[in-house]
Amino acid sequence: MSATEPGTLMWIGPTCGAFAEAYEFCLENSAQLARRHHCEQALDRRAAGVRGIVLARNNRAPISLQSLSHLRRRYSAAEFTHLLGPLALGLRSGEDLPSSERMAWYRWNEVLPHWLKRWGAATSEQTKPRRSVLIIASHYQAAEPLTDLAASTGAATAWLTSPDCLPFQNFDSVWWDDSTAAPASTATWQGRLRRFGKAAEHAWIVNNPTADQARIAHLAGVDRILIKPHQIDGLLQGLNRQTVPAKLRAA
């Protein structure tokens, strides 16, 4: 298979809950996606042209080293990543979880988009752009690069130093910088998000949150958690809603 061909992304494990956004992105943007429930099924049901394998792990249950070894031999050219859900973050690195392959569920957008881009996978051209972005940051130095990025897409852009300034409504995307939105309880996050209605997509741009802080924000309704220095691709993904998936699905 040519290195320039998009190939197949294999997803092993759950696709809902903390993994839903990452899986939806892969489903909509990979040229072909092969879904398998566990490693044994991935071995029983072969897929052609596999370029990458995502092992989604939602708990600390061990993976069979024999199955994992067979999987690596069968798909020797594929890249691997273990996508760890909130209950799996405490897993220790080892033979079944190399440290170089582990990734917290909220950091998926730092790796998976680059995989697909490197493979040349085509994304759907039928998109509905998000046309307005509200940036909440306490000072201009934090807000300026975000406003420039949002404005560069053609989106209407506004900046607030605090969500208490005015009752803004009907923004498509709200970007929270941690200069204003520090890590908080579930109730505090829900209060923040409630101000902007149910339709807005929320991104939190934060410097090294703990796994528990990220989990609380996610459960409260934050759609994207981007670690500083933030990945531009992760923010730009939120400015487009995929409407019609343009892909093939592997059997």
Residue 157, pLDDT score: 87
Q: CA-CA distance, 44 to 40, in Å (whole number)? A: 6
140 and 220 assigned to the same domain: yes
16 and 106 inside one domain: yes
Quick check: is 209 in a domain?
Answer: yes
pLDDT at 166: 61
Q: Rounded CA gap, 194 and 198, in Å?
A: 7
pTM of the entire structure?
A: 0.59
Q: What string of pLDDT tens digits covers the 251 residues of the chain? A: 545 566 889 999 999 888 988 898 898 888 889 999 999 999 999 999 899 999 999 988 888 889 999 999 999 999 999 999 888 888 888 877 887 888 888 888 878 888 888 776 654 433 444 478 899 999 999 998 888 888 777 788 888 888 776 666 778 889 999 999 999 999 999 999 988 877 788 999 999 898 889 989 998 999 888 888 756 666 766 665 432 233 333 33
Same domain, yes or no: 231 and 199: yes
What confidence score (pLDDT) does residue 240 get?
A: 56
Specify whether 91 is located in the same domain as 166: no
Inside any domain, residue 1: no
Name the amino acid, one letter, at 101: E
User: 164 with 215, same domain?
Assistant: yes
Q: What is the pLDDT of residue 121?
A: 62
In a domain, 246, yes or no: no
The torsion of the CA quartet 206, 212, 214, 220, rounded to 10 degrees, works out to -130
The answer on 25 and 85 residing in a single domain is yes
Residues 101, 133 within the same domain: no
Of 119, 149, 177, the position where a domain reaches its end is: 119
DSSP string, 121-137: PPPPS-EEE--EEEEE-
* Measured distance between the N- and C-terminal CA atoms of the chain, rounded to whole angstroms: 18
Residues 219 and 158 in one domain: yes
Specify the pLDDT at position 106.
81
One domain for residues 232 and 133? yes
Residues 225, 135 within the same domain: yes
* Domain C-terminal end among 71, 97, 119: 119
Residues 36 and 80 placed together within one structural domain of the fold: yes
Q: Do residues 178 and 204 make contact, with C-beta atoms less than 8 angstroms apart?
A: yes
- Residue 248 placed within a domain: no
Residue 124 resides in a domain: no
Number of domains, the chain: 2
- CA 154/CA 149 separation, integer angstroms: 9
User: Does 114 share its domain with 38?
Assistant: yes
Separation CA 52–CA 55 (nearest Å): 10
Structure confidence at residue 118 (pLDDT): 78
Q: Is residue 138 part of a domain?
A: yes
The CATH code of the domain that includes 219 is 3.40.50.2300
Q: Point out the domain boundary residue: 71, 95, 119.
A: 119
- pLDDT value, residue 3: 52
What integer pLDDT is reported at residue 249 of this predicted model? 34
Which range of residues forms the domain containing residue 62? 8-119
Q: Is residue 3 domain-resident? A: no
Residue 2, in any domain of the structure: no
